Amino acid sequence: MGMSVSEDSKEKRPGRSLRDIDLRAVAPFVALLLLLIVGAMVNPNFISINNLANVATRSAFIAIIAVGATFVISAGDLDLSVGSMVAFVASLMILLMNSGVVADPASMLVLAVVFTLVAGALCGLANGLITTVGKIEPFIATLGTMGVYRGLTTWLSQGGAITLREPQLQSMYRPVYFGSFLGVPIPILVILAVTAIAAFILYRTRYGRHVTAVGSNRDVAKYSGVAVNRVRTVAFVIQGLCVAIAVLLYVPRLGSTSATTGMMWELQAITAVVVGGTALKGGAGRVWGTICGAFILELVGNIMLLSNFISEYLIGAIQGAIIIIAMLVQRSLMRRS
């Protein structure tokens, strides 16, 4: 009798957990659908293809950064420096393009792209090493590097703005953000490509399984032979690469950067990850849910702009409320499981 009760409980618990996990995976997409319906009711122009394409394009920066944040958070860490990192890496990229070290504009652009990816990866590596080798809590470590990157950007710009001055580079580079391929804006294609690669890494590779294991229980992962510090450091490097890709889209849009560039983007990226169903405590990552979360944040702002119900100046407050609500929902689901 005791055996049957034990076996029944073992059979039921996974069932309840599976239902809760499925609910967390589906919830962001249900919320997105409901938001689309609300937006259509508020303003008929909201549901137009042009408006939705513009919303998706504008969400590209946060969406791509949030994909990297999904790896960091899934591994049980947190990166608060991404907004400052955007400003710093973008400043370095523009300064390089203004330097004229390569005469040919096309070669200069290729060099700038490679340089930006390397710079982003190195910034992520610095965050990872400070956290793992330095054994500093990621919250404190990245809070410190947030100040470092923002301060360096202020120093490079001398408190002003750094603007791309080369007209040939500007005209050659603008289509990366404003252009389209087969009618689809290039930033949307970049989002899909980055997300597809990230999903493959997280769900189909040994490293992805190690990220989940480290986020679930570092001690168990360590005793199972997983190189915990290496996994965590690589997650920060992936975050840095995603920041660099976001910079590659950001620079052709404005062609300028300053110490205020990327301000509060870390909050938006973390919110997109949490709204997308990834647990802030780590152990499970939902890359496609993260993209859905980024779209939700941008759609909320878009609805506020198209309606007269709520002031557009409250967008930051609404986004802050969203992450609190998302955390409360996650905690409720975890208790039920």
pLDDT digits (tens, 9 = 90+) for 181-211: 888 999 999 999 999 999 999 999 999 999 9
> Regarding predicted confidence, which is higher, 133 or 328?
133
For the residues 137-159, what does the mean pLDDT come to? 94
In this structure, are residues 92 and 115 in contact, taking their beta carbons and an 8 Å threshold?
yes
Could you tell me what percent of the chain has a pLDDT over 90? 52
**Nearest in space to 274 (alpha carbons), one of 334, 192, 188, 205:** 334
Helices (H), the chain: 2-42, 49-58, 60-74, 82-99, 105-132, 138-157, 167-173, 175-178, 186-204, 206-216, 218-223, 228-254, 265-275, 287-306, 315-336
Compute the distance between CA of residue 329 and CA of residue 337 in angstroms, rounded to an integer: 13
In this structure, are residues 207 and 75 in contact, taking their beta carbons and an 8 Å threshold?
no
Assessment of whether the complete model's pTM goes beyond 0.85: yes
216: CB partners within 8 A, 6+ apart? 282, 283, 284
Helices (H), 133-257: 138-157, 167-173, 175-178, 186-204, 206-216, 218-223, 228-254
The whole-number pLDDT of residue 301 equals 80
163: CB partners within 8 A, 6+ apart? 94, 255, 256
Q: What is the pLDDT of residues 74-133, one digit of tens each?
A: 999 999 999 999 999 999 999 999 988 888 888 999 999 999 999 999 999 999 999 999
